[in-house]
């Protein structure tokens, strides 16, 4: 009988253990998990954009973890996310005018909240608020800032249109920026195939501010960086006459195809094919 008792108790323990682990897996490791917090105090922060920030993401000061994100909410009627940070009580000397920023660890990493200290005498207390915030940087915006691709010209003074013919526009699409010296001066209005000449006709809408562009300037389809989007670059020529509305850019350089580039590398710089309308410096391949 005693042996029977022992296995009955053991079986009961086993079943309880099994259900306990099931409860643990179901509640603590899934999306409905409750957030258990230790000895922390809560700080409210408002972000214009939280990006991919998740609950329980780390909060860091000088790159060292001091707490975690407690909750992310969107108050109805507001266009900013309410983020509650649970910060360890040990780190209670955070100035009130500190700046909370959403950073990304690495290019593809996770996002976290970084706090940069201000200079105020008053320290953050429980329920306090960090007024100064910087939202999550969207990758597109960052790339845009790097390569200027996102910053289309403001077009305040209206635009004038210029046509350019390319034998290959690559992935260029309407709305892509037109840049001169790396600065956006307009945008691509349309990309169409010419049914007769069998090439691509790109209409460029250039800001009227920039009306001093020589009419022998060259247009090229470039790519911003290795993985960036494509844009049209204007390389100014030396002609005394300026581009007017409806003009056509004669000198063009088509989009580089990766295959062409590799081919050029492999055959030691000699251009594999001469495309009509290719500008003289096309084979430099430095883009």
Least distance between other proteins and beta carbon 105 (Å): 7
Q: Of the two residues 64 and 196, which places its CB atom closer to other proteins in the complex?
A: 64
Least distance between other proteins and beta carbon 46 (Å): 21
Residues engaged in binding other proteins (CB under 8 A): 4, 7-8, 10-11, 13-15, 17-19, 21-22, 24-26, 28-33, 54-58, 65, 68, 105-110, 112
Least distance between other proteins and beta carbon 234 (Å): 37
Least distance between other proteins and beta carbon 41 (Å): 17
Of the candidates 47, 140, 55, 28, the residue with the CA atom closest to the CA atom of residue 99:
47
Q: Of the two residues 112 and 222, which places its CB atom closer to other proteins in the complex?
A: 112
Least distance between other proteins and beta carbon 51 (Å): 14
Least distance between other proteins and beta carbon 28 (Å): 8
Q: Which neighbouring-strand residues pair with 242?
A: 214
Q: Of the two residues 44 and 88, which places its CB atom closer to other proteins in the complex?
A: 88
- Backbone angle region of 177, left / alpha / beta, with phi > 0 → left and psi within -120 to 50 → alpha: beta
Least distance between other proteins and beta carbon 139 (Å): 14
Of the candidates 247, 260, 249, 252, the residue with the CA atom closest to the CA atom of residue 276:
252
Q: Of the two residues 104 and 159, which places its CB atom closer to other proteins in the complex?
A: 104
Of the candidates 103, 111, 221, the residue with the CA atom closest to the CA atom of residue 166:
221
Least distance between other proteins and beta carbon 72 (Å): 11
Q: Of the two residues 54 and 208, which places its CB atom closer to other proteins in the complex?
A: 54
Q: Of the two residues 14 and 265, which places its CB atom closer to other proteins in the complex?
A: 14
Q: Of the two residues 29 and 268, which places its CB atom closer to other proteins in the complex?
A: 29
Q: Of the two residues 59 and 202, which places its CB atom closer to other proteins in the complex?
A: 59
Residues listed for the chain: 287
């Amino acid at each position: 009988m005693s042996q029977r008792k022992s296995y009955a108790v053991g079986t009961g323990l086993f079943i309880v253990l099994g259900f306990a682990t099931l409860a643990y897996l179901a509640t603590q490791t899934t999306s409905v998990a409750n957030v258990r917090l230790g000895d922390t105090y809560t700080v409210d922060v408002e972000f214009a954009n939280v990006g991919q920030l998740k609950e329980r993401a780390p909060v860091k000061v000088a790159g060292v973890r001091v707490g975690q994100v407690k909750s992310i909410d969107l108050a109805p009627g507001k266009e900013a996310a309410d983020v509650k940070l649970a910060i360890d009580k040990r780190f209670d000397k955070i100035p009130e005018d500190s700046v909370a920023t959403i950073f990304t660890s690495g290019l593809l990493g996770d996002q976290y909240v970084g706090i940069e200290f201000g200079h105020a005498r008053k320290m953050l207390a429980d329920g306090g608020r960090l007024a100064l915030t910087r939202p999550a940087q969207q990758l597109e915006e960052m790339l845009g800032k790097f390569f200027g691709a996102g910053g289309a010209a403001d077009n305040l003074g209206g635009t004038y249109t210029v046509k350019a013919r390319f034998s290959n526009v690559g992935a260029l699409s309407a709305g892509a920026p037109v840049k001169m010296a790396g600065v956006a001066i307009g945008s691509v209005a349309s990309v169409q195939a010419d049914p007769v000449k069998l090439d691509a006709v790109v209409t460029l809408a250039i800001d009227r501010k920039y009306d001093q562009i020589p009419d022998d300037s060259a247009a090229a389809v470039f790519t911003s960086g290795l993985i960036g989007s494509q844009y049209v670059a204007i390389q100014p020529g030396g002609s005394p006459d300026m581009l007017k509305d409806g003009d056509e850019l004669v000198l063009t350089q088509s989009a580089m195809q990766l295959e062409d580039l590799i081919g050029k590398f492999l055959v030691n710089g000699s251009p594999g094919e001469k495309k009509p309308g290719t500008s003289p410096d096309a084979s430099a391949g430095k883009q």
